[in-house]
Amino acid sequence: MGIRFGVSPIAWANDDMPELGGDTPLETILADARDIGFAGIELGGKFPRDPARLEPLLDGHGLELVGGWFSGALLVQDVAAELASAKAHLALLKAVGAPVFIYAETSNAIHGRMEAPMTSSPRLDAGGWRRFGERLTALADAIAAEGLAFAYHHHLGTVVEGPDDLEAFVEATGPSVGLTVDTGHAALGGIDPVTLIRAYPRRVAHVHCKNVRRPVFDEARAQGRSFLQGVLAGMFTTPGDGGMDFEPVMQALADIGYRGWVVVEAEQDPALADPRRYGALGLATLRRAAGMAGLETVA
């Protein structure tokens, strides 16, 4: 396959802040995603966890399930315990044919804490990276054996945030540990997403495309605000808005021969940023950039 375009439901309903879009019905999210022209959607908090309910719901809207985020705790529990915690999530993804298991370590993360400043992100020492890397690799091997790509999501407010974290992460893990390249989290974490793609082509397992409003982020960080407060202030937006150019991103993906999902995602307040309008803008921007890069796209 070439690349396919999906969307995250977080633009309609934010699982970290249920007050953002909490009253939006799942039917609205799915219908909007279909009508905008997306081929797939990621798992969200409003989605049923029973495959017998989820699969016909998606089929009825002409959507595929791209994958789903799993909040991990490998820093505080072993691989066997983590696999037990992930059993139901993995079974759901397998049952509906989702190709990607999106994972992030959240046991000590601060991105979900309204009172924690962005400057207080956790860090690991050399011994911590060694243990974490060994566990991550074993977990990714197990997920791969189940037929899904393991895609670790680097994220502001977590142990994989900046360039040094990313370098340590790659050095500590085996090739089964892929990456969810998130353009927005990369840029605000001090990582050039184009450089990331080109530096670790065999690790690129999944792609999230969001844009950033850097002045908003810089001000929020300087004032000691939290990640969630930065989101509320508008530090993220979709491709086509904000300060990033996505043609180089698509060109980098084309150059490494990426084949898989490219997901439009932006944490915004849906009362201020209409999900349909911003979703359509993001998709049109990426389609245009992909065409310029010569990327083969699949409907």
Alpha helices for the chain (secondary structure H)? 26-36, 51-60, 79-95, 126-145, 163-172, 183-188, 193-199, 214-222, 227-233, 247-255, 275-293
Q: Give the SS3 label for residue 105.
A: strand
Whole-angstrom CA distances from 90 to 4, 44, 83, 144, 156 are 22, 14, 9, 11, 25
The torsion region of residue 95 among left (phi > 0), alpha (psi -120 to 50) and beta comes to alpha
Q: Which DSSP string do the residues of 81-101 spell out, in sequence order?
A: HHHHHHHHHHHHHHHTT--EE
d(CA 54, CA 258): 28
- β-pairing, 260-264 vs 236-237, is unpaired
Which pLDDT value is given to residue 1?
A: 63
List residues bridging with 20 in a β-sheet.
Answer: none
CATH of the domain at 108: 3.20.20.150
Sign of CA dihedral 178, 180, 182, 188: negative
Whole-angstrom CA distances from 138 to 75, 126, 143, 148, 204 are 13, 19, 9, 14, 18
d(CA 73, CA 121): 16
Q: Is residue 299 part of a domain?
A: no
Q: Which DSSP string do the residues of 1-18 spell out, in sequence order?
A: --EEEEE-GGGT--SSST
Residues contacting 20, CB < 8 A, separation 6+: 13, 14, 269, 270, 271
pTM of the model as a whole: 0.97
Q: Is residue 298 part of a domain?
A: no
Q: Is residue 116 part of a domain?
A: yes
Here the tokens at position 266 are 């932006």
d(CA 245, CA 230): 21
Which pLDDT value is given to residue 297?
A: 87
d(CA 189, CA 165): 10
Q: How many structural domains are present in the chain?
A: 1
- Phi and psi torsions of 205, nearest 5°: -105, -20
- Phi and psi torsions of 244, nearest 5°: -100, 145
Write out the residue range of the structural domain in which residue 85 sits: 3-293
pLDDT, averaged in runs of 10, over the chain (299 residues): 93 95 97 98 97 98 98 98 98 98 98 97 97 98 98 98 98 98 98 98 98 98 98 98 97 97 96 97 98 87
Whole-angstrom CA distances from 271 to 24, 155, 188, 286 are 11, 24, 24, 24
